[in-house]
């Protein structure tokens, strides 16, 4: 009986589930419209989930001067100015298919959390559920092909 309740709690199935959980990163090429970074994600905590672009200077293969030039031109350090549109789609897996949680284009024009990131959105997702998160470029920015960019999916643990 105790074993049955243990199995019912889904702990056993989650133990063998290799679906990633936040904090998760995946590369994206921002240089061409239609480039996609997507993954399934399992929400295992009751925090808000965020999606952002991350382009840390320590992960670049270009010179520090070139990185600063691109970063200042496209991302801005001190002023919020129009950046570029990014499409975010979040689908929740249901028993009978999927449901749309988010499906919109974001204009990432506000300053990010730091000099090397740009927030896309944050939202509350249901703990214990699985989602498909897809980030897609909407316009061409050929110069950004030089930049190593990751999509980061994480939890906001601050109250």
Look at residue 7 and tell me if it is in a domain.
Answer: no
Query: What pLDDT, in 10s, does the model give residues 114-155?
Result: 567 788 899 999 999 999 999 999 999 898 899 899 999 999
Share of the chain above pLDDT 70, in %: 79
Give the C-alpha separation, 156 to 148, whole Å: 24
Task: Count up the domains in the chain and report the number.
Answer: 1
CA–CA dist 129, 50 (Å, integer): 16
Does residue 4 lie within any of the structural domains? no
> CATH number of the domain that 31 lies in?
2.60.120.790
- Rounded Cα distance between 12 and 120, Å, is 34
Is residue 2 a part of any domain in this protein? no
- Comparison of pLDDT for 107 and 12, the residue scoring more: 107
Tokens representing residue 16 in the block: 């063998």
- Residue range 61-68: mean pLDDT, rounded: 89
Predicted model pTM: 0.81
Residue 80 lies in a domain: yes
14 within a domain of the structure (yes/no): no
Any residues with CB less than 8 A from the CB of 152 and at least 6 apart, and which? 23, 24, 25, 50, 51, 52, 53, 54, 117
Residue 69: which region, alpha, beta or left (left: phi > 0; alpha: psi -120 to 50)?
Answer: alpha
- Asked whether residue 13 is assigned to any structural domain, the reply reads no
Buried b (16+ CB within 10 A) or exposed e, 108-147: beebbeebbbbbbeeeebeeeebbebbbbbeeebeebeeb
* Residue 68, H or E segment: helix 64-74
Q: φ and ψ at 30, to 5 degrees? A: -85, 0
For residue 105, the tally of other CB atoms under 10 A from its CB is 10
Per-residue pLDDT, 81: 47
**Mean local confidence (pLDDT), 89-106:** 95
35 belongs to a structural domain = yes
Ramachandran angles phi, psi of 43, nearest 5°: -90, 120
> Which residue range forms the structural domain that includes residue 40?
19-156
3 within a domain of the structure (yes/no): no
Q: What is residue 16's predicted lDDT score, i.e. its pLDDT?
A: 67
């Amino acid at each position: 009986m105790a074993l049955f309740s243990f199995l019912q709690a889904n702990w056993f199935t989650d133990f063998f589930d290799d679906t990633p959980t936040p904090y998760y990163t995946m590369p994206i090429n921002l240089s061409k419209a239609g480039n996609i970074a997507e993954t399934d994600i399992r929400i295992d905590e009751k925090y808000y989930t965020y999606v952002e672009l991350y382009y840390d200077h320590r992960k670049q293969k270009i010179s520090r001067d070139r990185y600063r030039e691109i970063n200042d031109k496209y991302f801005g350090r001190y002023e919020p100015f129009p950046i570029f549109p990014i499409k975010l789609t979040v689908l929740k897996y249901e028993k009978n298919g999927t449901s749309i949680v988010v499906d919109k284009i974001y204009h990432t024009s506000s300053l990010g959390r730091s000099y090397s990131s740009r927030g896309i959105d944050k939202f509350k997702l249901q703990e214990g559920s699985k989602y498909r998160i897809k980030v897609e470029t909407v316009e061409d920015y050929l110069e950004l092909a030089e930049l190593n960019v990751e999509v980061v999916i994480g939890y906001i643990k601050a109250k």
